[in-house]
Amino acid sequence: MGAPSWARSLRSGWDDAVSLYFPRIVILLLRVPAIVQLESLSKLYGSFVALRKITASFEAGRCYLLLGENGAGKSTLLRVIAGLLRPTHGVVRVFGEAKPAHVRDRIGYMSHAPMLYDEFSAAENLRYFAGLYRERACLSPEAALRAVGLDPALARPVGQYSQGMRQRASLARVLLPQPDLLLLDEPFSNMDAGSARQMLDLLERQRAQGQTILLTTHQRELAEPLADFILTLQAGAVESLLPARTAAPA
């Protein structure tokens, strides 16, 4: 004897609900928390619109590759997330803080310029900057330099370094306070293929340790293996934000 019809319909409704909602609940529970959230973010320089209503979130422990032509707004976006620029409209939340400047000790920012003193050696620069991050468990300057493939004993001032060496020293400065979020603006520029590969391996290790990486580059083929997601900007607006494997090839 079968179950009454009301029981069958109840069971069927339950099954439908489970099949429909259970995967979504699992996805929600497994979802990696977003450490950077952008809501309708716009940045204007006078009348020039550098960023247009960008809404996106970046999850912890992922690597995001920011692509776009020159002037697409990649560097401006990184600077806004770093708290170096204030958005004209919209909200940026980093580690849940509406003012990224309040969590700046957890952010490592590498710009086009090395942000180092020419007169000091790389180790001297790093010793100085380590002193500014007292509350963080900093790497030793020697360890940071070794991690980027520079000799800590090198006494030459940074002003006499090649461009590639400056980039490495700059990355060492960024890695020194072991930040949770790395914002890297064109880290492979002026680097030979071997050095860029070494830097990629290093960034891969940083991501494996749980650091989130937002990286801009024009060398997509080089950085793509590292990326989890690819964010493409076009004239200051988000054109696409896709998982790296499904993003359209360059």
Partner 1 sequence: MRAPYSLLHLHKDLRLEWRSRDAINSMLFFSLLVVVIFSLAFDPTRAFSRQISGPIVCVAILFAAVSALNQAWARELRHNVLEAHRMSPAPAASLFIGKVLATFLFVSAVEVLLTPLFVIFYNLSALGNAWMLLLGVPLGTWAILVNGTFFAALSIRSRNRELLLPLILFPIFMPALLSMVLAISAILSGDADPALWIKMLAGYDIIFTAISLLLFDTVLNAE
User: What residue ranges bind partner 1 (CB under 8 A)?
Assistant: 82-86, 101, 104-105, 107-109, 111, 113-120, 124, 128-129, 131-136, 157, 173
Beta strands in the chain (DSSP E): 34-45, 48-59, 63-67, 89-94, 107-110, 181-185, 212-216, 229-234, 237-243
Q: Which is nearer to partner 1, 60 or 115 (CB)?
A: 115
Least distance (Å) from partner 1 to the CB of residue 99?
A: 11
Q: Which is nearer to partner 1, 107 or 247 (CB)?
A: 107
Q: Which is nearer to partner 1, 112 or 220 (CB)?
A: 112
Do 118 and 159 touch, CB atoms closer than 8 A?
A: yes
Q: Which is nearer to partner 1, 8 or 89 (CB)?
A: 89
Provide the angle, in degrees to the nearest 10, between the axes of the packed helices 163-175 and 193-208. 10
Q: Which residues contact 8 (CB under 8 A, 6 or more apart)?
A: 2
Least distance (Å) from partner 1 to the CB of residue 13?
A: 55
Least distance (Å) from partner 1 to the CB of residue 157?
A: 8
Do 175 and 146 touch, CB atoms closer than 8 A?
A: no
Q: Which is nearer to partner 1, 127 or 220 (CB)?
A: 127
Least distance (Å) from partner 1 to the CB of residue 124?
A: 8
Task: Count CB-CB contacts under 10 A for residue 2.
Answer: 6
Task: List helix spans (H) across the chain.
Answer: 5-30, 74-82, 122-132, 141-147, 163-175, 193-208, 220-223
Distance from C-alpha of 96 to C-alpha of 87, rounded to nearest angstrom: 16
Least distance (Å) from partner 1 to the CB of residue 84?
A: 6
